[in-house]
Amino acid sequence: MRTDTHHLTAARVTATPRITVVGTGYLGATHAICMAQLGYEVLGVDVDTAKIDALRSGRVPFHEPGLPEALDQAMSTGRLDFTTDFSRAAQFGDIHFLCVGTPQKPGSQAADLRFVEAAATQLAAQITGPALIVGKSTVPVGTAAMLRERVRTLSPAGRALDLAWNPEFLREGFAVQDTLHPDRLVFGVASTWAEQVLRGVYRPILEEGTPVVVSDLATSELVKVAANSFLATKISYINAMAEVCEAVDADVGDLARALAHDDRIGGRFLRPGLGFGGGCLPKDIRAFQHRAREIGAGAAVRFLEDVDAINARRRSRAVELVRELAGGSLLGVRIAALGAAFKPDSDDVRDSPALDVAHRLRREGADVVVYDPEAAENAHRVHPDLPLAASLTEAMRGAQVTVLLTEWDEFREARPESLAALVAEPRILDARDALDARGYTRAGWAYRTLGRPFPPVPSAAHPTSAAVAVREEELELCTAAAEDAEPVPLPAEP
Ligand code: UDX
């Protein structure tokens, strides 16, 4: 519980805390920059010298819309700096946010806690006065309580050092918006002092009316994995329906739209396609299953196995459809793979369905050329053998099958007529259901997507206008509702 020392320092720490942010990846760099924008003095810390050098020189070392401008702004105030020096950080900060990664352990479903443990203990060993460590990384339930005991035992500050958990829900591509205007804040605390400090540091955000849920450490850790499990389940649910639709030539697009009109279900995260990927959803549902088994609650989240399996099957189905479009074999077939990032507006290829499908196609002997507007460098790091094009045109020139794997605006906005002129065969799998099916068909493309009926693939290299007209008619029947197909076809939840 709260000590007198805490009580005395609470006012100072809540009024003008100095902040460190440990880990300067997508989450940490954004958090550091946004906290400086809110008016705090902030020191970002990382063991990666290259990352720190980039940030110090005003460059964001990954793609995140709006973040470079925010970094510029924050640096110009003189309130933001970055370092690799942990002792400087320990002396500088009153509140230390932990934003390091908790990736999946190789060969296991479990989360690798090495970085979070190292960050907490390295800091704690050098913190000498009252301070609050605030974990933001996604961790297995029980980690925060264990770390709290460990840092208090280890630190010269002893019980004047507290630890709280404050999970982060930011989405890549919307990181600045989600950090400065989150839909909720969650404070996992073991003392009223910690709650006071968190309420203080987040005051500008709370004053906007942002709801806050204050709970214990374990619940706050669970909130994050529960949220990501729910989102993953919703995506796999609609993708499971896509599988069923495929079995009877029904249309999952119409089905999703019809479901979305039910307010209780809602349309968000109900977009069928190639499934989820990224640095959070896949590893979080696996780590949750692993931890649940450890604590004797494995049966409660066993369904997540299916969620993961449905997600994986979408990738296999995409490969199967490309093979069909290619005429039954992928051997030597020139394929334009559009997209490598796990979603648009990101250069993140962690567990990316797009990159995985491109890689599988190449493994089956196809001559794959990948183009992604932002993720080429990261894709090359993961699969150096995968040929990359420098432009959409280069990727498409001479392609026998095209497959849309990440729904970047550049791909959605490209004119099907212009693209048809580049390829050897106008055949496309729109694995994200993001393109204008009717427009493509009109332009002579054999167009397919997942979970929706499609017209037969023409046997000629370039279909005759009569063949196009027939396909157009057929498509009219099966995609009547796609007429108004907008980038996000489902109504948003209120
Ligand atoms: C996610 C959570 O949304 C965020 O709250 C958490 O903090 C981190 O994990 P992010 O990984 O940035 O964020 O991606 P998100 O926008 O949630 O998309 C996840 C994946 O699901 C993407 O691969 C996306 O393409 C896919 N997706 C999303 C679908 O396939 N269908 C949908 O309807 C929505």
CATH number of the domain where residue 236 is located? 1.10.1040.10
**Which atom of ligand 1 lies at the shortest distance from residue 270's CA?**
33
Q: Which of 99, 270, 280, 493 to mutate to test the pocket of ligand 1 (most atoms within 8 A of CB)?
A: 280
Tell me the three state secondary structure of residue 365.
coil
pLDDT of residue 234: 98
Q: Of 310, 336, 364, which closes a domain?
A: 310
pLDDT of residue 239: 98
| pLDDT band at residue 9 under the 50/70/90 scheme | low
Higher pLDDT, 246 or 467: 246
Side-chain-facing half-sphere of 217: CA atoms under 13 Å: 21
**What 8-state DSSP symbol labels residue 406?**
S
Distance 281 CA to ligand 1 centre (A): 7
pLDDT of residue 489: 38
Q: What is the CATH number of the domain that holds 56?
A: 3.40.50.720
380 & 293 share domain:
no
276 & 295 share domain:
yes
Q: Give the CA diameter of the chain.
A: 85
* Structural domain for 264, as ranges: 226-310
% residues pLDDT > 70 (the chain) = 89
Contact criterion met (CB below 8 Å) for 445 and 422: no
Residue 237 maps to a domain: yes
Give CA–CA dist 493/89, Å, rounded: 42
Residue 5 maps to a domain: no
161 & 304 share domain:
no
Distance 171 CA to ligand 1 centre (A): 7
**CA torsion 43→49→52→58, rounded to 10°?**
150
Residues framing ligand 1 (Cβ under 6 A) = 168-172, 228, 231, 235, 269-271, 273, 275-278, 280-281, 342-343
Q: Which residues pair with 86 in a beta bridge?
A: none
Contact criterion met (CB below 8 Å) for 31 and 168: yes
Establish whether 280 is a catalytic residue. yes
Tell me the pLDDT tens digit for each residue of 158-214: 999 999 999 999 999 999 999 999 999 999 999 999 999 999 999 999 999 999 999
Residue 494 maps to a domain: no
**Which atom of ligand 1 lies at the shortest distance from residue 232's CA?**
21
Q: Of 276, 310, 344, which closes a domain?
A: 310
Label residue 199 exposed, middle or buried (CB < 10 Å: 0-12, 13-18, 19+): middle
Q: Which residues contact 178 (CB under 8 A, 6 or more apart)?
A: 169, 170, 171
Q: Is the pLDDT of residue 300 over 80?
A: yes
> Of 193, 230, 406, which is closest to residue 304 (Cα–Cα)?
230
Q: Give me 41's structure tokens.
A: 């003095």
270 & 319 share domain:
no
Distance 296 CA to ligand 1 centre (A): 29
Residue 70 maps to a domain: yes
Distance 224 CA to ligand 1 centre (A): 13
Label residue 246 exposed, middle or buried (CB < 10 Å: 0-12, 13-18, 19+): middle
Q: Which residues contact 355 (CB under 8 A, 6 or more apart)?
A: 340, 342, 349, 370, 375, 379, 382, 383, 386, 405
% residues pLDDT > 90 (the chain) = 88
- Mean of the per-residue pLDDT values of the chain: 91
171 & 276 share domain:
no
| pLDDT band at residue 12 under the 50/70/90 scheme | low
Side-chain-facing half-sphere of 126: CA atoms under 13 Å: 15
Q: 260-269 burial, b for 16+ CB within 10 Å, e for fewer?
A: beeeeebbeb
**Which atom of ligand 1 lies at the shortest distance from residue 432's CA?**
30
Poorest-pLDDT segment among 196-210, 388-402, 478-492 = 478-492
pLDDT of residue 127: 97
Contact criterion met (CB below 8 Å) for 129 and 157: yes
202 & 238 share domain:
no
211 & 107 share domain:
yes
Higher pLDDT, 494 or 321: 321
pLDDT of residue 370: 98
Sort residue 411 into left (φ over 0), alpha (ψ -120 to 50) or beta.
Answer: alpha
- Mean per-residue pLDDT, 306-334: 98
pLDDT of residue 361: 98
**Which atom of ligand 1 lies at the shortest distance from residue 272's CA?**
31
**What 8-state DSSP symbol labels residue 278?**
S
232 & 353 share domain:
no
Q: Which of 31, 231, 307 to mutate to test the pocket of ligand 1 (most atoms within 8 A of CB)?
A: 231
Q: Is the pLDDT of residue 10 over 90?
A: no
Which residue shows structure tokens 């432009």?
Answer: 391
Angle at 475 (CA atoms; ends 474, 478), nearest 5 degrees: 95
Distance 218 CA to ligand 1 centre (A): 24
188 & 323 share domain:
no
| pLDDT band at residue 413 under the 50/70/90 scheme | very high
Find the catalytic residue in 34, 99, 245, 280: 280
Q: Which residues pair with 214 in a beta bridge?
A: 187
18 & 81 share domain:
yes
pLDDT of residue 87: 96
The total domain count for the chain is 3
> Of 127, 18, 63, which is closest to residue 342 (Cα–Cα)?
63
Tell me the pLDDT tens digit for each residue of 417-475: 999 999 999 999 999 999 999 999 999 999 999 999 976 554 444 433 333 333 333 33
318 & 283 share domain:
no
Give CA–CA dist 103/220, Å, rounded: 19
Residue 17 maps to a domain: yes
pLDDT of residue 13: 63
Q: Is the pLDDT of residue 483 over 60?
A: no
Rg of the chain (C-alpha set): 25
Give CA–CA dist 345/339, Å, rounded: 11
Q: Of 290, 310, 330, which closes a domain?
A: 310
Residue 452 maps to a domain: yes
Q: Is the pLDDT of residue 491 over 60?
A: no
Residue 1 maps to a domain: no
Q: Which of 252, 343, 347 to mutate to test the pocket of ligand 1 (most atoms within 8 A of CB)?
A: 343
**Which atom of ligand 1 lies at the shortest distance from residue 172's CA?**
12
Tell me the pLDDT tens digit for each residue of 51-107: 999 999 999 999 999 999 999 999 999 999 999 999 999 999 999 999 999 999 999
- Mean per-residue pLDDT, 260-284: 97
Nearest CA to ligand 1 atom 20: 276
Cα–Cα distances in angstroms (integers) from residue 77 to residues 42, 91, 126, in the given order: 11, 22, 28
State phi, psi for 129 to the nearest 5 degrees.
Answer: -125, -175
Q: pTM score, two decimals?
A: 0.90
pLDDT of residue 307: 98
**Which atom of ligand 1 lies at the shortest distance from residue 352's CA?**
23
Q: Which of 235, 283, 406, 486 to mutate to test the pocket of ligand 1 (most atoms within 8 A of CB)?
A: 235
pLDDT of residue 16: 85
303 & 390 share domain:
no
Distance 11 CA to ligand 1 centre (A): 39
Residue 248 maps to a domain: yes
Nearest CA to ligand 1 atom 22: 276
pLDDT of residue 72: 97
pLDDT of residue 464: 36
pLDDT of residue 471: 35
